[in-house]
Amino acid sequence: MRRARVRVPLALLLLGAGALAPVPAAGSEHVPPAKPHDPLQGMDPTGRIPKVVLPPDLPEPARWRYIPEGRIKPGNIFERFLVSSFIAPQLFFDEDIGVGAGLALTDIDFRSRRRREFLGAFVSYTSEGQQRYRLIWQRWLHHRDLPDGGVVLEERSLARAVAGYEKTLTRRFFGLGPDTPPGAETSYTDEAWDLSVRGDFALPGAGGDWIGSLGMRGEHHNLGPGHVSDRPTTDQVFPDLFDAGDGWDALTLSAGLRYDTRDSQHQPYEGWRVGLFVDAPVWQSTGDVGAVATAYANLAVRVPPLLHGGGDREEENPPTDTLAFGLHVETALGELPYYARPSLGGSLTLRGYINNRFTDDSAWHAVAEYRFWVIPRGFWLTQRIRVERVGLALFAEAGTVAESLEALPDARIHTSWGMGLRLTFERTALFRVDVGFSGEGPNFTAGFGVSF
C-alpha cells in the first residue's frame, strides 16, 4: 500500500543578505562609480532576449547559449543574491523518516567567473536520523565574453565533480524480474558515500556532433534493515542478495560516445542523438567484475505552438513547443549488487511507479512526451529574478526488465502515463514536477532538467 508523504518545500522563501555598498579607497574620489547592475541589460521588460551578434570565429554558433549581462551581476555571493546565488530552505515530513529540514545553496557564478562555473551544496537531516550531504561543482570548458556585454558558453563540453554522503532509511526492493507484485515490497537502509569526476568533450572541437565522456567514481555502501512501516525488511526476504550488497566498495570507470545533432543538451527543441555508455566497476570489494552497458536514442521535433505565438526569428530563445521521443536498452555484465543493476520506476523512467519498482539484469524503456508552454513570457518573482516561462508536458511510457537481453522480448511490459509542470529560469535551468499513473496508482516526482 502506497504511503502518503507530506513535503512542504520552501524553495520560494529565499533568504540572504543584501548587497553591501563598496567603500571608496583613499585618493579614489576622481574614479567614476561602478555602473549599477541592470537586471534587464540584454533583455526586454517582457523577458524576451534579442539575438546578439556572435564572434565570426565561433564554431557551430547554434550550439552556444547566450547569457545576457543582466544575469551576470558582479560581487561576492551575498551581493549577487537572487541573481546568481540562491539559498532554498526546505521542510518535509514522512512517517517512516520523521520530520526533516534541509538547505540548498547554489551559486551559478561560482568564483565570479562570469557564469562559467557552478557550485551547489545540499544538506538535509530528519528526526529519525536520515541525512544527506552533497557538493557539486561544474565548469564549462568553452566560454566567451562578448564585446557588447554578456557571455556565450558551449553546453557540450564540461568538467564535473561530485562528493557526498547519505544515509537513506527507505530504499525499496521488490525482487528481480518483471512480474514482482506490489505486495512484494521490502525496504532497506543504505548508508553510502561517493566521490566522482567526469568530463564531456565535443569532438572534433567545440560544438561538434560527437561527444565523448570519461569518468571515475569511488563508492561505499553499508546496508541495514529498512524503516518502512508494515513492510518486511530486505535482509529478511532476500538475505542472499542483501548480504552480497552489504559493505560493498567499488571503483568504477565510465566511458561513453554519442552522435548528437540536438540544438541543446538541457532543453532540446529539435535534433536527435544515438549513443553508448558503459559504467564498469573495475574493482569491487567482493572480488567480482561487472559493468552496465546502455544504448540509447532520442529525437526532438518542433511542432506548431498551441497556446502562444512562438516568438520571432530575432529572439534568442523563443517559446517552442516540441514532441520528444526516447528509447534505451541496458544490460548488466558480470556480477553486481542488486541495487547497481538496471531498474525502472521513479523520476526518469516509468514515472507512474515508485523508484526502483522493477529490477533485473536487463531493461528497456520507451517514452513519448509533448512539451508545450502555457505562460510563454513568464513573470517577475522579484525585481531581480524572473521566471522565463511556464509549461506543461503530457507523457506516455512503456518498458520492462528481464534476466537477459534475449529474454526482454518475452517479458511482461509495463506502462505509465501522466502530465507535469515545467518552469524555467533560463534554457539551461528547468524545474519539473510530474504525476504519473499506472495500475499501482499515482506517483509524484520532481527534478531538475528534462527526464530524457
Q: Write the pLDDT tens digit of every residue in 287-328.
A: 999 999 999 999 999 999 999 999 898 999 999 999 999 999
* Distances 446 to 90, 188, 388, 434 between C-alpha atoms, Å: 14, 22, 19, 6
Cα pseudo-dihedral 59, 62, 63, 65, rounded to 10: 110
Given a cut of 90, is residue 147 above it in pLDDT? yes
In a domain, 34, yes or no: no
CATH code, 398: 2.40.160.50
Given a cut of 60, is residue 34 above it in pLDDT? no
Q: Is the CB of residue 121 less than 8 Å from the CB of residue 146? A: no
In a domain, 301, yes or no: yes
* Cα–Cα distance, 20 to 35 (Å, whole number): 15
Q: Is the CB of residue 174 less than 8 Å from the CB of residue 440? A: no
Given a cut of 50, is residue 10 above it in pLDDT? no
In a domain, 24, yes or no: no
Cβ neighbours for 234, distance < 8 A, ≥ 6 positions apart: 171, 173, 186, 187, 188, 223, 225, 226, 241, 242
Higher-pLDDT residue of 424 and 29 is 424
Closest by Cα among 284, 224, 199 to 248: 284
In a domain, 28, yes or no: no
Q: What is the band of 29 on the pLDDT scale with cuts at 50, 70, 90?
A: very low
Given a cut of 50, is residue 432 above it in pLDDT? yes
- The structural domain count of the chain equals 1
Given a cut of 50, is residue 96 above it in pLDDT? yes
pLDDT at 396: 98
Region 103-114: mean pLDDT is 95
Region 87-116: mean pLDDT is 92
Given a cut of 70, is residue 260 above it in pLDDT? yes
Burial zone of 33 (CB within 10 Å; 0-12 exposed, 13-18 middle, 19+ buried): exposed
Query: Domain range for residue 433?
Result: 6-15+51-448
Given a cut of 80, is residue 17 above it in pLDDT? no
pLDDT digit string (tens) for 355-412?
999 999 999 999 999 999 999 999 988 877 789 999 999 999 999 999 999 999 999 9
**Cell (9 digits) for 4:** 502518503
pLDDT at 385: 79
In a domain, 387, yes or no: yes
Quote the longest CA-to-CA distance of the chain.
81
Percentage of the chain modeled with pLDDT above 70? 92
List the single range of 27-41, 73-87, 118-132, 258-272 with lowest mean pLDDT.
27-41
Given a cut of 90, is residue 22 above it in pLDDT? no
Task: Please state, rounded to an integer, the average pLDDT across all residues of the chain.
Answer: 91
pLDDT at 356: 94
User: Is the preceding omega at residue 181 within 30 degrees of 0, hence cis?
Assistant: no
- Strand 143-145 relative to strand 131-140: parallel, antiparallel, unpaired? unpaired
As beta bridge partners, residue 387 has: 379
